[in-house]
A and B are shown apart, each in its own frame.
Chain A
Amino acid sequence: MLFAHGFGCDQEMWRHVAPHFEDRYRVILFDYVGSGRSKRRFRRSKYQNLSGYVDDLVEICTTLDLRDIIFVGHSVSAMIGLLAVQQIADRFTKTILISPSPCYLNVGEYLGGFERKEIDQLLDSLESNYQGWSDQMASLLMYDAAHPELTQELSQSFCRMDPTVAYTFATATFLADHRSILPGHAIPTLILQNKQDRIAAEVVGEYTSEQIPGSQLVYLDNIGHCPHLSSPQLTIDAIENFL
């Protein structure tokens, strides 16, 4: 099982869910370049759209020579996963999409949920939180140096992303339109849709499910966009049922 985290966080997001599957599956977690503890250099030119992330995902699959992959992708990783399947379909057996959205913008009749100016508000939040981000980072690093016994605190601090990375990733994520790839996705697919999700609303999940032939849509009684964090048991049960 290959778990791919969403925008804003890192593989730690899976900590309540992934371990549950470890006894029966080879569980693979990773951080996207620029997120979590990834080591490769983040190049704006490569990651200005999702294809850079897709290439990396494909590289993970081919380098580790993964077969019969059950792909679990949260949020933007749902689309990254579908795009990777286009390239190496025979390596995948099932795809599980948590809170997916093929397009966050409202386009014509389609209601992705956001207007362009609202995405700009997001970019603005990312930019203005640069200081907060670096302050927190600095204080944590300082703790580490002055009090070696607090190293624990540092290693437990998750989901920190460099603002440049966040800005680029956000642009690639929220301004893209991947609706056209949905009908061609021919692998058994489960879609987990939150009851109250401010990023990917129910209509978006329903649209995604209608467009992916034969996909299964399951509603989770969860508030928010990250059920694997706020309602891990519901998430595990839904995945188990599907598998």
Chain B
Amino acid sequence: MTDSSSSLNDRIQKGITKHAADFFDQAPCGCIITTTQGEVIRFNDQLRGWLGYGKDDLPEGLHFADLINKGGRIFYETHFAPQLAMNGQISGIALKFLRKDQTELSVLIAARRHYDGEGEPLFQSIVVTNFTDRKVYEEGLLAAKRTAEDNDQAKSVFLSTISHEILTPLNAVLGTAELLGASDLSDQQSHLQSILVRSGNHLLSLFKNILIISKSGLDELEPVRQPFRPESLLSTTVDSFRYGSERRNFVYALEIDENTPEVLIGDSTLLTQVITNLVGNASKFTKTGTVTAGVSVLERKDDDTCRLRFFVRDTGIGVEQKHLDRLFTPFTQAYQNIHEQYGGSGLGLSICNNILKEYGSKVEVESRIGEGSTFWFDLTLPVGDPAEATSEHLGNLPPINQGHVLIVEDNRTNSFLVARYFRKWEVAFDIAHNGQEALEAVASKPYDLILMDLKMPVMDGYSAARGIREMPAPVGNVPIIAFSASASLAISERMRVAQIDDFILKPFAPRHLYNLVSQYLNPSIMKYPELREAMDNNPEDLERFAEVLQRELTLAADELVTALSKNDAQKVADIKHKLKTSLQLMDGTAIQHDFAAVSQDLRNGVTVSAARKSGLVEKIRQASRELSRERW
């Protein structure tokens, strides 16, 4: 390199440095250099101009966050600064700066951290774009988006309300039809009655679909966890179709994998709805052959959970490959003329997917034109205890024959229905027609249970419940079960606030009403005092802990079966030791006693009879079941 070229380079360098400074100040964007902590070091003229500051009147010790409006500073501290620190850069951040006169300036920001060779951060550079014009458009778009969302919300609420309004009379129709079935009927009458029930159920299913759509639109679809029998779920669903289509030329079949657990935990109402929709579709598009509903076990992971495939297979018209996607779009059917030929709302499959989304699953389909289709979905569900799942048949329920119940209901048909069942179950009752009457009744005489409708004239169920709770104990502590037509699948916040203990959906399943009522009228004496004490009588903790205990007991029972079959004294002793604390908490002294005796005998080589062994295992299982039935 010659001298002259080196001095030329120097001059170029100096020129660039000087230009860079001008460039920094006059660039069409704001530029800020800050310390790694965000304190401002340099600030360009452009930004000064935008913010209305002169050359020298920038405040001393200015922090970048001070430029942002106050609420935006929280965003800076909680999102901007941590991301910049951790990721080294951040861009496309819309904020509002404060001008010197305290008016706001919309800006878009990109920032970078600069590091030395060792990776230590040195400073931060921030580029600011004036965003005022774009912000105006953006705000317009946002407003439009909000309006659209509000409309959607309003529609969902409307759907939910209207379905709710329809469920009440439908409840009365179905309940009356069911009562009719229990009386002496001629063959012809009984045929007519079955049509009544069937059509009623069909209508009910349609409205449940609408409710599910509106609930999931409102993000309120929350599956409950309750034990159910998958086999009976499938057969009941298929039966409801079987008896509904005498003029069909195809048959219904069930295919239940023999390894399917007897009882699973899940939301049987929602799953029934999925299966109903699938079987309903299959029936619609099948002329001859078979519609098969079934379940197969994909994987039994351990004792606690099971992965299953539920499917509905038909020999119907089939769907072309290219139209398969359309099946799942709401209000859309695979072909334009489907509705004319087969009817239907085009909602079924998208509802199925709305429900299955809650379980991380969706409906899959395989189809050949002219040969038929198979729709299926896979679920991983916890395995339940057979003792907990009650039969769904109304059958011969033993009389309850105790307690005095107050029915609070303005709808005469509904109170008439409940009254009919109560007479059958030998439960004494009084009827009040609104919340005000209920308060008077409760004040005049003690009740063991109150069934309360929520929507009533004069005073609604929430206010009445609150009123009762304000009365002195023990009157104020009477259990209250709400009649809810809102088809919400869990106890609502409003019910919780009103201290309502439980709820039953309208239209109610008589069996469910029976279970609920008998549960509250036969309160087992305060069991598990130790456990309650240990959890400070906090129902939520008790419930959670009871679940843990239950799982532990079930697991231990299973382990014990194996250990006992091998006469493994050491293992039996281990299990006994493991259960010690739990059993103590549950006052399981009898079990502990048996356990110790069996363990001791095994250790000493004394033969333990099969009856004693199974007796011990059964006692532990029994304890687990009892625990699950306890209301905390």
Contacts and interface: CB of A to CB of B under 8 A. Distances in A.
Contact of B82 (A8, A45, A132): A8
A121 B96 contact: yes
Contacts of A174: 74
B552 to A, nearest CB: 11
Contacts of B96: 121, 124-125
Given A129-B79, A132-B92, 4 more contacts: A118-B70, A123-B71, A136-B92, A197-B77
Contact of A120 (B71, B87, B545): B71
Interface stretch (A22-30, A178-186, A207-215, A221-229): A221-229
B91 interface: yes
Contact of B142 (A87, A128, A158): A128
A158 B73 CA distance: 20
A224 B76 CA distance: 10
Contacts of B90: 136
30 contacts: A8-B75, A8-B77, A9-B79, A9-B82, A13-B82, A62-B541, A88-B541, A114-B74, A117-B71, A119-B71, A119-B74, A122-B71, A122-B74, A122-B75, A124-B71, A125-B74, A125-B75, A125-B95, A128-B135, A129-B92, A136-B90, A159-B86, A196-B63, A223-B37, A223-B38, A224-B77, A229-B81, A229-B82, A229-B86, A230-B36
Q: How large is the interface on B (under 10, 10 to 19, 20 to 34, 35 or more residues)?
A: 35 or more
Interface in A166-192: 166, 170, 174
SS class of chain B's interface: helix, strand, loop or mixed? helix
Interface string B50-86: 0000000000000101000111111111110111011
A225 B78 contact: yes
Interface of B: 36-39, 63, 65, 69-79, 81-83, 85-87, 90-96, 135, 138, 142, 219-220, 222, 358, 538, 540-541, 544-545, 548
Contacts of A41: 358
A198 B64 CA distance: 12
Contacts of A114: 70-71, 74
B92 A125 contact: no
A230 B85 contact: yes
Interface string A107-118: 000000010011
A158 B36 CA distance: 18
A7 B95 CA distance: 18
Contacts of A118: 69-71
Given A131-B92, A199-B74, A121 B544 contact: no
A13 B78 CA distance: 11
Contacts, number: 130
Given A159-B79, A225-B78, A229-B85, A198 B91 contact: no
A87 B539 CA distance: 11
Query: Of residues B71, B76, B142, which shows the largest number of chain A Cβ atoms within 10 Å of its Cβ?
Result: B71
Contacts of A156: 87
B94 A44 contact: no
A13 B92 CA distance: 22
Contacts of A166: 79
Contacts of A8: 75, 77-79, 82
Contact of A45 (B91, B142, B219, B544): B219
Nearest to B360: A41
B491 to A, nearest CB: 13
A226 to B, nearest CB: 6
B540 A136 contact: no
Given A128-B138, A131-B92, A136-B91, A158 B83 contact: yes
A166 to B, nearest CB: 8
A75 B81 CA distance: 15
Interface in A16-38: none
B82 A226 contact: yes
Nearest to B36: A230
A226 B36 CA distance: 13
A129 B65 CA distance: 17
